[in-house]
Structure formats: structure tokens, C-alpha cells
Amino acid sequence: MKSPSKGKEQKKILLAYSGGLDTSVAIHWLKQKYGCEVVAVTVDVGQSDDLKEAMRRAKAIGASRAWVIDAKKEFAEDYIIPALKANALYEGNYPLGTALARPLMVERLVTMARRLGADTIAHGCTGKGNDQVRFEVSIMALAPDITILAPTRDWNMSRDEEIEYAKEHDIPIPVTCEAPYSIDESVWSRAIECGVLEDPWQEPPEAIFEWTKGIESSPNAPEYVELGFCEGVPVSLNGVTMEPLELVTALNEIAGNHGVGRIDHIENRLVGIKSREVYEAPAAIVLTKAHQDIESLVMPKDLMHYKRAMEQHYANLVYDGLWFSPLRRAMDAFIEETQENVTGIVKIKLFKGSAVVVGRESAHSLYSTDLSTYEKSDEFDHSAAKGFIYVWGLPLKVAGVVNSTKNGNGVLNEIAVKEEYSSVCK
Ligand code: ARG
């Protein structure tokens, strides 16, 4: 990889600034090492940090300019919604809030780099996480000419050494550095790592949770919510029409209040490490359940089964940083086609940490009471089942006969089997 251009051509390094310790130290370190201008850019995807304060800090440390780009609406509409249509849960658990936010951040960073004439983008990811991969692979896809720097990975300082470096160089340390946890937030999920959580046996302490109530303190009465979908997109909450961002934000609040959306996941990172991740994702969990459920009402069996298999692949691909791949675009095109009839309402009961779908309706429902009922009105032709089972089971029966012959079940058995075989083959 090229190092940033020197001398006359040298322009600016654009730093993906989170406001945390790593990227705060990085502003100073990059300026020292490369002697060039560092511009701090924070892409707002719904982190609850005080981003204005972060900007002030970036400038105080020495960034020539500091920007916050509000990308929450785009994040909800162009990243969360496709992932929801794909029911994307990594390893069946994690709704991918961090993984989805990285390609959007890169999109915005690259646009900014072009506008400001920066030839280098730096990020503050460490060398053992997934985010370094997501950042770099996305930059490679969108701006192959841009030089990438990963100072945190290169300088190899421990956290304490970083704090020491910050003190030595009068870098204001963000307050969050006192907390033993590493937090990453977007409107789709809040991820918590480090501290006691590194011991997979230790129950996550109540104090780490901010979006969800504990079961002990959540309401003692259940609450029902109705989610309206239109072609796979959630469009209303309890009958009130909402844009995706507004809906996700409101549902995080409602479901979080009932303790819904806590996830404790031993996760397989792309870089080969198993890590213990704790998430809060109330809206993501409720919406995914509801979306899967309405799909099962309106989708033909073969299409749904095929899509379910693809969903896992989709989640892996997003997790692994390949958002900007042709495969993801092709999968999205397929998934979009499957959403044509995914319109209707899902009723969910929230209570003491659980979100259970308890009702669903759609004008495109393929559910037929006339066929499913056990009452008199039943229209299913029971006699047709006999011939169907004969044909369906025939290959197994033939194999069964052949295998039991091979296994040598004795002369008597063999005679019986032969008789059976000839009757099968008649
Ligand atoms: N394990 C998740 C992922 O790779 C979340 C990572 C959160 N990052 C963090 N710096 N705490 O997508």
C-alpha cells in the first residue's frame, strides 16, 4: 500500500473519527508522522454520543476541520431496510448494526475525500476486529486509488499506553475512556464488548444496558404492537404511518421498555477469533420476527425455503465486509422480487423480554381455512393423500427393500423382502 503522498502533492488525510480514545490519539499521531493536514469526519448513524463535543475535541487536538455528517435516514432506508428484507441475522443472532454502518460510513467518507481533495483515508480500527476489513474493503471497492491508513493497528500501543500518549501530548481524553467497555452504536443495534464480558461465563452486568430494561424492572403487563408492512418495508406502527428511521427509533423505545432485544452471542469473527458480544437491538429483533412471519403467510413454500437459505449467505456477506460486492447487489435484486406480496399487518406481544408474534393478516395471504380446518367445512380431499404418499415414499421404499436385502436379514426375511419388492415394482 502506498504511503500518503509527500511534499507538493501532499494534501490531506481524512480520518474516520468516532470521538473515542483511538481516533483522538490518531489525529495527533497522524499529524506528527506524516506532517500533513488531518480532517476529522464523523458519520452519524444514530450513536448517542455527543457528536458536537467530539468535533470540538477533534479541533482541539489539531484536526484542521471537523465534520459530522447526519446519515441516519439513509442508513435506515438504504441499509437497514434491505437487511430486514433479507431477515439478516449473523449466526442467527446479530442484526448487523455495526457491519451495515461501515459501508455507509465509507460511502460518505469517500464523497468527502473527493470534495476536499484528500488522497488518504485513515480509520481507527484495531488489527483484530471485523471493522478494519469492512472499512478497507469498502474503500477498495469505491475508491481504489485512495491510500488507506490504519494508525491504531500500526502503532501497537496498549490502551494504557494510548492514555499515557494522550496525557503527554495534552490530548483531551473522552470521558467514555473511563468505562471498561467498548461500545458501538447505530439505530439498528448497540454492541458492547470488553471488561467482564470477556469471560463468557460471566452474566452481563445490568449496568451495561442502556436501550433495554431488565426483566425484573420491565412492566408487569404485556403490550401489543401492530406493525404494518408494504412490499417488505415496515410502514406503520400501531396504525400510525412512519418513515423507517422514525419507526425503528420508536420501536427501540417500546420494545426496549419490555426488555426485548438483548443478545448474548459467542460470535465467529472474520479474522478467526471467537468473541463474546452483547447487543441491544429491540427494534431489529421485533421487526425481523414480524417480517419473517408475514413472509410465511404470503410466500409460496419453495420460494420461502430458497430465500431462507440465501438469507444466511446474505448475513455472512454483510458481516464479512462485502456490501459493495456484485453478489450483494444480485441478492438484493432477487430479494426485492420476493417482497411484492409482503404487505399486511403483524401483531406482536411484548412481555418480560420476549416478543411473540400472535397474529398476522394480509390481502395476499396464502392461508386457506377451507384447506387447513379440521371442521366440517374442510375442502381438502383426504383420499388424494394415499396416492400422493405412495409416489412420495416410493424411492425410500425401494431403497429400504434393497438395503435390508444387502444387510442379510436371513432367508425368511429375504423371501418376504422379495415378495415386497416385486409388489413395489409391479
Ligand atoms: N461484533 C460486531 C461486529 O463485528 C460488533 C462490533 C462492535 N465494535 C466495537 N468497536 N465495539 O459487527
Residue 271 is part of a domain; what is its CATH number?
3.90.1260.10
Atom of ligand 1 nearest to the CA of 129: 4
Return the active site residues.
22, 102, 131, 182
* Residue that is last in its domain, among 324, 346, 366: 366
With a Cβ cut-off of 6 Å, ligand 1 is lined by 98-99, 130, 182-184, 191, 193, 267, 277
Tally of domains within the chain: 3
Residues 158, 133, single domain; the answer is: yes
**pLDDT tens-digit profile of 86-131?**
999 999 999 999 999 999 999 999 999 999 999 999 999 999 999 9
Mean pLDDT of the chain: 93
Tell whether the model's pLDDT for residue 316 goes beyond 80: yes
- pLDDT reported for residue 45: 98
Residues 125, 272, single domain; the answer is: no
Residues 220, 233, single domain; the answer is: yes
| Buried b or exposed e, range 316-336, using 16+ CB within 10 angstroms | ebbbbbbbbeeebeebeeebe
In a domain, 5, yes or no: no
Tell whether the model's pLDDT for residue 411 goes beyond 60: no
Residues 236, 308, single domain; the answer is: yes
In sequence order, the 6+-apart residues with CB closer than 8 A to the CB of 65 are 39, 40, 59
Specify whether the CB–CB gap between 87 and 28 falls below 8 A.
Answer: no
Atom of ligand 1 nearest to the CA of 97: 12
Residues 44, 155, single domain; the answer is: yes
In a domain, 110, yes or no: yes
Residue-number span of the structural domain to which 385 is assigned: 368-426
CA distance 185 to 97: 8
CA distance 228 to 237: 6
In a domain, 183, yes or no: no
Taking residues 242-261, what's their average pLDDT? 98
Q: What percent of the chain has pLDDT over 70?
A: 92
In a domain, 184, yes or no: no
- pLDDT reported for residue 420: 62
- pLDDT reported for residue 11: 72
Tell whether the model's pLDDT for residue 408 goes beyond 70: no
**pLDDT tens-digit profile of 145-157?**
999 999 999 998 8
Pairing of strands 65-70, 120-122: unpaired
Tell whether the model's pLDDT for residue 409 goes beyond 90: no
* d(CA 359, ligand 1 centre) in Å: 34
**pLDDT tens-digit profile of 338-365?**
999 999 999 999 999 999 999 999 999 9
Residues 197, 276, single domain; the answer is: yes
Of the listed ranges 71-80, 167-176, 277-286, 413-422, the least confidently predicted one is: 413-422
Residues 211, 274, single domain; the answer is: yes
Tell whether the model's pLDDT for residue 172 goes beyond 80: yes
Residues 194, 167, single domain; the answer is: no
